[in-house]
Amino acid sequence: MKISQKLEYACRALVQLAKSYDGKTLTRLDDLAQREAVSANFLVQILNDLRRAGIIDSRRGASGGYILSRPAENITLRQVVDAVEPSQLQNTALEQGQSGSAVRRAWETVSTKLAGDLDAVTLESFSSPPSDPMFYI
């Protein structure tokens, strides 16, 4: 599966915001860009998409920055995809020709399953540190 750079950067920025989420602490754009080694100019465009979608909040000024609009467990990967790459889940298959409708239905099934899988993944699930493996003797 090919993930766009924009979607990857959005997820990386959200992981950083989730790590510091306490409901009041803001993270500055420059800090996010530096931690994830991404261009601040590109990142601000992505953060604006996330803000418009209601996933993050922002405050201007010297003490401004970005914060999740709600806890990470209440943000799904599908919401992130819809905010940053809304065409990702759109089915563009045409119903032309004798097989067109069958092909379209197949892609609709795949799209529906993918959307359901994205709904099942929360920001919390991929922003939490992995637990150490358990070894049984």
CATH, residue 20: 1.10.10.10
Nearest to 67 by CA among 27, 95, 30, 97: 27
Q: Is residue 41 part of a domain?
A: yes
Q: Is residue 137 part of a domain?
A: no
Which pLDDT tens digit goes with each residue over 14-43? 999 999 999 889 999 999 999 999 999 999
Which pLDDT tens digit goes with each residue over 74-118? 999 999 999 999 887 777 777 788 888 888 888 889 888 989 999
Q: Is residue 133 part of a domain?
A: no
Rounded to two decimals, what is the model's pTM? 0.85
